[in-house]
Structure 1
Amino acid sequence: MKENERLKATKELEAWKECQRKAEEQTRIQREEKFCEQGKQVGEERNKLKHKSLTRIAASRNLATKGRNSENIFLEKLKEDSIPGPRSVGSIKISFTPRVFPTALRESQVAAEEEWLHKQAEARRALNTDIPELSDLKEEEKNPEWLKDKGNKLFAKENYLAAINAYNLAIRLNNKIPLLYLNRAACHLKLKNLHKAIEDSSKALELLTPPVADNASGRMKAYIRRGTAFCQLELYIEGLQDYEAALKIDPSNKIVQNDAEKIRKIIQGTELKS
């Protein structure tokens, strides 16, 4: 009897599950049909809107075409009445004077610039590779430009003594390059070798002659470095003279202007005390 009851209950459960599955399947089919109907309605609405838009655009184009046609007729009439015939074809030839320096020829001192170019060429040729002490160096180490770049990198790393050694060797190879003395002066300033900084700055200024636009930046650095060394030695009058010389090269430099004004105040205070 228990087994019969169990079988009966199982059958009823299976029948109920089958009814539930059919109901869910029917609900799903109805939902899909509803979605399809909605999709068709949306598609129809879109087609109607598209048709209306195309109709408007076509109407606008027709109006614009009519307007352009009338405007073109008016413009053609104006052209016929007022526009002259085309000019004949021609060509203009312009020749420029070749220049090494960026300044115009009318503003340049040709003799001074030619002298500067000659000195630069001489400096490139003057290579003292026959010095016995330099015979064991590598090939790149006999190049003053390579040594200058190496000294600049050492200076950036604040290894000023090593940078001075690189500049020293470069100067022994070629003592006509002003930037070597200028950079070595910067190292001496950092190490408080003030007299050597003055000596190197003066040598750089000697090589940076004649004063032309191409060496203006180097001359300004040389004056400032020498002026700084003079001021640190408390030779303020000499320092002010160098700063004023730098300002003549670049009068708009605010930093140099402020430093020169500070030096003037120091000189005035010293005179008042004395």
Structure 2
Amino acid sequence: MPLAVNDFTWEETEKEVFITVPLKGVKSNKVDILSTEEYLKVSYPPYLFECFLRAPVDDVAGTAQVGNGAVFFRLPKKEPGFWSKLHSDIHGDKEAMKQKREEAIKTSQEREQKKEQEKTEKKRADSKYALQETMKFEEAERKRIEDEKEFERKKATEELEKWKEEQRRLAEEEKKKLLEEKLAAEAAREQKRMEEMEQRKKTKKRGKKNDIFEEAAEGVPKREVGKIEIKFTPRVFPTPVRESQTPQEEEWLRKQVEARRVQDVDEELTEEERNPMFLRDKGNSFFQSGNYLAAVNAFSHAIRLAPKMHSLYSNRAACHLKLKNFIKCVEDCSRALALLDPPVPQNADSRCKAYVRRGTAYCELELYVEGLKDYEDALKIDPNNEALRADADRIRQVIQGSSES
């Protein structure tokens, strides 16, 4: 049973009421205060101060301060005037006091719920505003990146067009030079033939008898003696016969020959533009200089000419990796690996690079399990590569950390 506090003091003016409740040595952090328009309660066990006010007050505008061993209330009156006494007439009526107390508790709970709801609404509004600002920033950043990409794309296209124009000019000059050389050679041959015919006429006049074959061939230029050199391609597979993968190696050679066979292309393209090897070297040059978009364009043009050359897909995948086009990198690596079949020692290095690039792209996409599998496949090809092994261990640690959390 709490001890009622009766040694409180109070004062009033026409507009305000001031109440002082002593805390009797209790620490301020253990004080519980409830205040409504017609009810006050200060609980600090084992003491309890309870007051049913004579008239309503503005408890929202009122204040309650805890300090110096007491609780100080300043409560504005809703209607000006003097009360002459603090307690309501229901003081002592248990049923009325109980009802008033329950109403005060209900009012206090509703007020707290309202405050909590307002706080939640404010938090939601702040979150919505922050989200809108973030979306605006991301949209601006996305537009900036797209503008930069468009600028780089135009720049790469202009450079490619300039390069094409330069190649056309050089081709025209080369054609002109070859034509001049051909005409000069034909003129020289014609001059030589005329001189030989003149010489034969002079010989006849001297009375010398020509050979029958010479007479039959008179006026016809002799065919020059030529020589044809035949070179045999040495066998490039040093595998011992007992460990030979001859069927796979022959299939791989056949695929390489087929891969270098150029598809039908536009007649207007220059000789260099029809050469996938030249375009591959040009793409590698762009890649080395950091112009990855131009490199992608060069490799893509080469792929249209020779869609079965694995190196074109692998090199374009490296460009996509630099440009953070990770999904396209995965696609190109997968295509390269499909073309690198059957697996033989001669394409081991290319398969290793394709696995590493695809594994890196998977990790950037947070597909760590797929990335680890590709790194492990690369390690099967190059088991002594310590850098690959260290990268695979780091990916394995990331996967383990994710599973533990």
- TM-score of the superposed pair, with normalisation by structure 1: 0.61
Match of 1:120 among 240, 256, 268: 256
Structure 1 gaps of 5+ residues are 1-97
The separation in 2 between residues aligned to 1:161 and 1:102, in whole angstroms, is 39
The separation in 2 between residues aligned to 1:103 and 1:151, in whole angstroms, is 33
Match of 2:245 among 80, 87, 109: 109
The separation in 1 between residues aligned to 2:238 and 2:294, in whole angstroms, is 36
- Give 1:129's aligned residue: 264
**Are 2:309 and 1:177 aligned?**
yes
- Give 1:272's aligned residue: 404
- Give 2:333's aligned residue: 201
**Are 2:353 and 1:221 aligned?**
yes
- Identity across aligned pairs (percent)? 61
The separation in 2 between residues aligned to 1:216 and 1:209, in whole angstroms, is 10
How many residues are paired up?
A: 172
State the structure with more CA Rg. 2
Match for 2:341: what amino acid?
A: T
Residue 123 (structure 1) shift: 1.1
The separation in 1 between residues aligned to 2:401 and 2:298, in whole angstroms, is 42
Matches within 5 A, 1:254-269: 254-269=386-401
Greater percentage in strand: 2
The separation in 1 between residues aligned to 2:274 and 2:335, in whole angstroms, is 22
Residue 214 (structure 1) shift: 0.4
Give the alignment's Cα RMSD to 1 decimal.
Answer: 1.1
**Are 2:302 and 1:166 aligned?**
no
Match for 1:180: what amino acid?
A: L
- Give 1:58's aligned residue: none
Match for 1:262: what amino acid?
A: R
The separation in 2 between residues aligned to 1:235 and 1:158, in whole angstroms, is 27
Greater percentage in helix: 1
Structure 2 gaps of 5+ residues are 1-233
CA contact (8 A) 1:129 1:142 kept: no
More off after superposition, 254-263 vs 111-120: 111-120
- TM-score of the superposed pair, with normalisation by structure 2: 0.42
Residue 264 (structure 1) shift: 0.3
**Are 2:388 and 1:252 aligned?**
no
Per-residue deviation, residues 130-168 of structure 1 (Å, max 9, x unmatched): 3xxx33321111100000000000000000000000000
The separation in 2 between residues aligned to 1:159 and 1:135, in whole angstroms, is 29
The separation in 2 between residues aligned to 1:182 and 1:106, in whole angstroms, is 33
- Give 1:233's aligned residue: 365
The separation in 1 between residues aligned to 2:259 and 2:388, in whole angstroms, is 30
Per-residue deviation, residues 191-225 of structure 1 (Å, max 9, x unmatched): 00000000000000000000000000000000000
Match for 2:324: what amino acid?
A: K
Residue 108 (structure 1) shift: 2.1
The separation in 2 between residues aligned to 1:185 and 1:140, in whole angstroms, is 23
Match for 1:118: what amino acid?
A: R
